[in-house]
Amino acid sequence: MDTDGITALADALLSYDAHSNLKELDLSENQFTEVEAMTALSHAIHGTGLQILKLNKNALGDAGISELGDALHPENFPPDGPALTTLEVASCKIGVAGAEHILGCIRLNKSLMTLKLTDNFLDDTLDVSCIESLKYLQDLRLDSNRLPRRTIQRAAQACSRNKQRVYDKEPRSLRKEVQRLKVQEIKLAQARRQAAKDEAEIFVRKDSRDTYAEDLRQFRATVLKASKQAQSKIDDLESALNSRRLYLKHVKTTIVETAMNNEREISHLKTELARRESSVVEIQGQLSEVNGELARRTAEHPREVAEIKAKIKAAWEGAEKLKATATDARSQLKSIQDKSLIDFKP
């Protein structure tokens, strides 16, 4: 396959499933040399669960291996990097720059365990610190290169150190697991005791459930009977409500008629009120005239009373004089009678 074939294959893997069942892919001895093919494979590494990738005997060069190194950098695929555990790039015309780049990218990669760089263009200018700084890689193959034996030994020592770290880590993790399991065992015993209590409580609750079921059946029968009675009452109430509605309709009609009659009566009363108000105005005018006449008579009355009193006084005085004259006349008449001895009585 050439670059186009690799690109089509990577696109198919990505479009099929991000976690497909394909775990191993061997593309050795093909003809892709362009960087675009490595870019497509980098996307495939990121988007699938691929674990083993073999690219032996392809002219990748430093550019191609740099693309793969960027794909394996944990920062580009947090937290631990992609799922790839084995990468074989033997006889791929990789130089020192490309090797140092991929070693720097996988320094903190926790997934990649095996890297095969045999039969490439590596020599004694390779920076050994790139190999010694690897934290998790356990198998680094550098044979069939122009590397000194000391560099290969230091690479083997670094891989052994990483393996030993894993072996030391596993017993500690096992002890932690044992402690955790002891705690879980204690919890399991407690759970079993609690389960026994729960079973006894379940038995009691089942008996209570049967009792509650019977009570519920009786309650449902009571509710059904009450529902029928309530439905009968509802029917009666609906009948009464219909009667009330008819009565309300009649009342509304009566109210409307009464309102119309009241309006006519109010109109008539308003007319009568206007007429009465006009009469009141006339009466008020007459009252004003009467009040004027009363005021005039009130002013003239004391004078007339005084004149009448004066006349009465004068008449009274005249009567007194006449009375005195009459008394004198009687006295004279009596004296004359006595002198004449004439009895004038009948």
Is 339 within the bounds of a domain?
no
Q: How far apart are CA 74 and CA 84, in angstroms?
A: 12
Which structural domain, as residue segments, surrounds residue 123?
A: 3-147
Is 142 within the bounds of a domain?
yes
Cβ within 8 Å of residue 3, ≥6 positions away = 32, 33, 34, 36, 37
CA angle, residues 29, 34, 38, in degrees to nearest 5:
75
Number of domains in the chain: 1
Is 55 within the bounds of a domain?
yes
Of the candidates 131, 70, 65, 120, the residue with the CA atom closest to the CA atom of residue 98: 65
pTM: 0.51
Residue 32 has what pLDDT?
78
Q: Report residue 133 CA to chain centroid gap.
A: 54
Is 137 within the bounds of a domain?
yes
Of the candidates 95, 85, 86, the residue with the CA atom closest to the CA atom of residue 64: 95
Is 304 within the bounds of a domain?
no
Is 237 within the bounds of a domain?
no
| Strand positions, DSSP E, 198-312 | none
Q: Is the peptide bond before 79 cis (omega within 30 degrees of 0)?
A: yes
Q: How many C-beta neighbours within 10 Å does residue 47 have?
A: 18
Q: What is the pLDDT along the chain (346 residues), one digit of tens a residue?
A: 888 888 888 888 877 654 567 889 999 998 877 788 888 888 888 777 889 999 999 988 899 999 899 888 888 776 656 788 999 999 999 999 999 999 999 988 888 899 999 999 999 999 999 999 998 899 999 999 999 999 999 999 999 998 888 777 766 666 677 777 878 888 888 888 888 888 888 888 888 888 888 888 898 888 899 888 988 899 899 999 999 999 999 999 999 999 999 999 999 999 989 888 888 888 888 888 888 888 888 888 788 888 888 888 888 888 888 888 888 888 888 888 777 755 545 5
Q: Residue 85 in contact with residue 52, Cβ under 8 Å?
A: yes
| 10-13: long-range contacts, CB 8 A cutoff, minimum separation 24 | 10/40, 10/41, 10/43, 10/44, 11/40, 13/44, 13/47, 13/48, 13/50
Question: What is the CATH number for 84?
Answer: 3.80.10.10
Residue 45 has what pLDDT?
84
Q: How far apart are CA 257 and CA 32, in angstroms?
A: 104
Q: Residue 99 in contact with residue 123, Cβ under 8 Å?
A: no
Query: How long a stretch of residues is the chain?
Result: 346
Q: Quick one: angle between helices 96-105 and 61-72, nearest 10? A: 0
Is 69 within the bounds of a domain?
yes
Is 268 within the bounds of a domain?
no
Of the candidates 66, 18, 62, the residue with the CA atom closest to the CA atom of residue 44: 18
Q: How is residue 194 written in tokens? A: 């609690």
**Tokens 């230091």 — which residue?**
154
